[in-house]
Amino acid sequence: MTRTVSTSIEPGCVELWRRRRELLGKKRIGLLVNPASVLPDLTYLFDRLIDDASLRLTALLAPEHGLAADRQDQVNIPSATYRGRPVFSLYGTRSADLRPTPGVMDEFDVLVADLQDVGARYYTFIYTIAFAMEACAAAGKPIIICDRPNPLGGLELEGPLLRPPFASFVGRFPLPVRHGLTVGELAEWFNAELKIGAHLTVLPCRGWKRDLWFDQTGLPWVPPSPNMPTADTAIVYPGACLLEGTNLSEGRGTTRPFEITGAPFIDGRELAEKLNALHLPGTAFRPIHFSPTFHKFSGRICGGVFVHVTDREIFRPFRTYLELIYQVCRLNPGEIAWRTEPYEFETERLAFDLLCGTDAIRRGLEAGVAPAELEANWTDELQAFAVERKKYLNPAY
């Protein structure tokens, strides 16, 4: 497929840098960032602001995986320092640690957030931003969001909307799994629909259009988390993350997380044949063996499949991975299981249900209901969301 690459796209941090004295002046600045918070020349926004002697960067805030994005999933991130500035972790040992404390809020007068989302409801950065917005509203302090492209584009929607009883840090709000919104658009949606009331400024991603995938933006991909190494990983993630709610490996500990899946009890050739026979749009399955270096089945040989996206325009990740899990349930009924260990500060509800935003999908799979039939249950609500979200779509995109 021929890819037309734009060279004129500027993430919101470029406008922040251009207007830094106007927007930030002599205020004490808090900065919610990680390594993907780069300008197009690959310099870190936090280094740029520290190096400018006319600015007062007084606090750094770090989301899950830490300021350096060097920690694995669900690992406690302690607070630290960076170039003489305190780094306050927003991912600790308990759910209360996800919110900036009043003490942290006292460290700055304005908060700037520049985080790269991946376009799926599960990705926790958007909820870290929402918590920060709530804290800013309570403290009467403004927040500036530097917008960035949705790596999956902004056209397609997929998956069920989250049901309130299943709200968690992998889904706080009633969004579909693949929401088609940017961080800035989500912030506007949160602020209005949830009545957060933050003094919010969104600096747009200039030049980005909703039909652009990340590799068409001309912007450098910097992994926002350890297991999101490429923009291709983001394409499968809205479906592949469901594997975290099972005892199947999601490929952590391999060179292609989320594109690789399997377990020691899986016959990869048999699974690939079943899946390829379905002729799912935009994908093909290759049988593999792999041995994760860490995480599930560390050091053990697993059979499984590599999920190849052959046409991303028609590929539907949520449906594809539901089919994969459904086929494993049929082929290995005594082996596949739902994760029961604590997951993202939740100890009672199953991780798979939290990710789906409902328990109806798990119960359907257990009853042998095919994914096509399950998918019909959320078609109408997805169409309704498509209408509702129009209020928050940036017209420039």
Q: What pLDDT is recorded for position 1?
A: 46
| Structural domain spans, the chain | 12-226, 231-366
pLDDT band at 78 (very low <50, low <70, confident <90, very high): confident
List pLDDT tens digits, range 108-128: 999 999 999 999 999 999 999
Fold identical between 12-226 and 231-366?
A: no
> Taking 70 as the threshold, does the pLDDT of residue 272 lie above it?
yes
* Whether 7 contacts 218, CB under 8 Å: yes
List pLDDT tens digits, range 312-344: 999 999 999 999 999 999 999 999 999 999 999
Q: What is the pTM of this model?
A: 0.95
pLDDT band at 4 (very low <50, low <70, confident <90, very high): low
Q: What pLDDT is recorded for position 8?
A: 84
Q: Regarding the domain delimited by 231-366, which CATH topology (the fold level of the hierarchy) does it fall under?
A: Aspartate Aminotransferase, domain 1 (3.90.1150)
Q: What pLDDT is recorded for position 250?
A: 97
220, amino acid identity: P
The CATH number of the structural domain formed by 12-226 is 3.40.50.12170
